[in-house]
Chains A and B, each alone.
Chain A
Amino acid sequence: IAGITQAPTSQILAAGRRMTLRCTQDMRHNAMYWYRQDLGLGLRLIHYSNTAGTTGKGEVPDGYSVSRANTDDFPLTLASAVPSQTSVYFCASSLQNTGELFFGEGSRLTVL
């Protein structure tokens, strides 16, 4: 079934640890995104990629890094997790410059 998958679904992490959230899509979308969603706030863009080999910073990029080695994969890495990074993380993909995003099921991350 075509779509976008994220892993892990949920993770509890000690502060200071490194963590990578994985995201894979098989829709051949050129654009991919990482958002975080916190209670009472809208989706906030962390990083994005308009095409394989390129990435850009969103609204809240500090403490996060991404890579886009190919069209399908867009991992998000927290180099040294802090409690303020406790959130639900959504990966999404779309055709470039369209607003119809397809979201993964989300990764709930708790940093203690």
Chain B
Amino acid sequence: GQNIDQPTEMTATEGAIVQINCTYQTSGFNGLFWYQQHAGEAPTFLSYNVLDGLEEKGRFSSFLSRSKGYSYLLLKELQMKDSASYLCAVMDSNYQLIWGAGTKLIIKP
């Protein structure tokens, strides 16, 4: 079956760096996506990886290794507003998104 695994919850300190991991097993691969979802709000798109390597976008970076079925989202210079859930999703061979349950990130002062 298809499966996306990511930690349920993580805690980090304001100003620090945090890495949120995601492993996947899917029927085919057409890209890996990260979304941010603040409590009570809709998910919003953060990043997209289809080739191996690191994609950097400001304080956020996303890494992909297709051979390992692994990705991570790296958040630098953490701010209180980064407290949110981070959703990992993989697009399978049918171009359908398979979603992880999300990682709730708690930022402490």
On A, residues with C-beta under 8 Å from B are 40-45, 48, 58, 90, 96-97, 99-106
Contact = CB atoms under 8 A, between A and B. Distances in A.
Contacts, number: 47
Interface in B43-85: 43-45, 48
Nearest to A39: B101
Nearest to B97: A99
Contact of A42 (B44, B87, B91, B96): B87
Contacts of A48: 96
Q: How large is the interface on B (under 10, 10 to 19, 20 to 34, 35 or more residues)?
A: 20 to 34
A96 B91 CA distance: 12
Max count, chain A CB within 10 A of own CB: residue among B41, B95, B97: B97
Contacts of B101: 40-42
A97 B33 contact: no
A83 to B, nearest CB: 22
Contacts of A43: 43, 87, 89, 97, 99
A103 to B, nearest CB: 4
Given A42-B87, A43-B87, A103 B44 contact: yes
Given A43-B97, A101-B97, 13 more contacts: A42-B99, A43-B87, A43-B99, A44-B99, A45-B97, A48-B96, A90-B43, A99-B31, A99-B48, A99-B97, A101-B35, A101-B45, A105-B41
A99 B91 contact: yes
B4 interface: yes
